[in-house]
Amino acid sequence: MSRYRYVAVLAGCLLMIQVGCTGKSEKPIKVEGVVTLDGKPVDRAMVSFIPVDKGGHQANGQTGNDGTFHLTTYTSGDGAIPGDYKVIISKAGAHDSENNVAPKVDDPKDFEKMKSMMMSASKPHRPEKGTLPADYSDLSKTQLKARVPHDGPVTFELRSGGGT
């Protein structure tokens, strides 16, 4: 075997070992769900699935008028990688969002805006009128959990007093 061929084979083997040890090759699974507060649908809430395992990928979504959401990991609506997640759900107060209009996730620019909003949602904040109880948006306090894949839609029935 020539020296170059030997180096190429060795490099290929090392690459396969590295990919096998460090990365999950699993593809996202479509995840849809609904968020309610005291039995009523929550509009324009940001839903974020934070992976419990290190090396996982966060998935985000935004609720519509009927409280439904579809998660996104890499591309709009692709879902979430299989695994266990802590879930945070937040809703900006009227003065927190630009012109009080939530971004649409169909446009990649708006998706990036939503993603940055979701990242900031993991930080604790004071609840304001029109928002959800702070426990749901604080990663250290949330009791919301989810597992992907899930049989059917994921439902989060929130209460004004917080808790699960």
pLDDT over 90, % of the chain: 51
pLDDT at 151: 80
Per-residue pLDDT of 73-110, as tens digits, reads 999 999 999 999 999 999 875 444 443 344 445 555 55
Q: Is the pTM of this model over 0.75?
A: no
- Topology (CATH level 3) of domain 26-158: Immunoglobulin-like (2.60.40)
Question: Which has more confidence, 124 or 28?
Answer: 28
Per-residue pLDDT of 24-56, as tens digits, reads 458 999 999 999 999 999 999 999 999 999 888
3-state per-residue secondary structure call for the chain: CCHHHHHHHHHHHHHHHHHHHHCCCCCCECCEEEEEECCEECCCCEEEEEECCCCCCCEEEECCCCCEEECECCCCCCCECCEEEEEEEECCCCCCCHHHCCCCCCCHHHHHHHHHHHHHHCCCCCCCCCCCCHHHCCCCCCCCEEEECCCCCEEEEECCCCCC
pLDDT at 124: 45
pLDDT at 162: 79
Listed by start position, the domains of the chain span 26-158
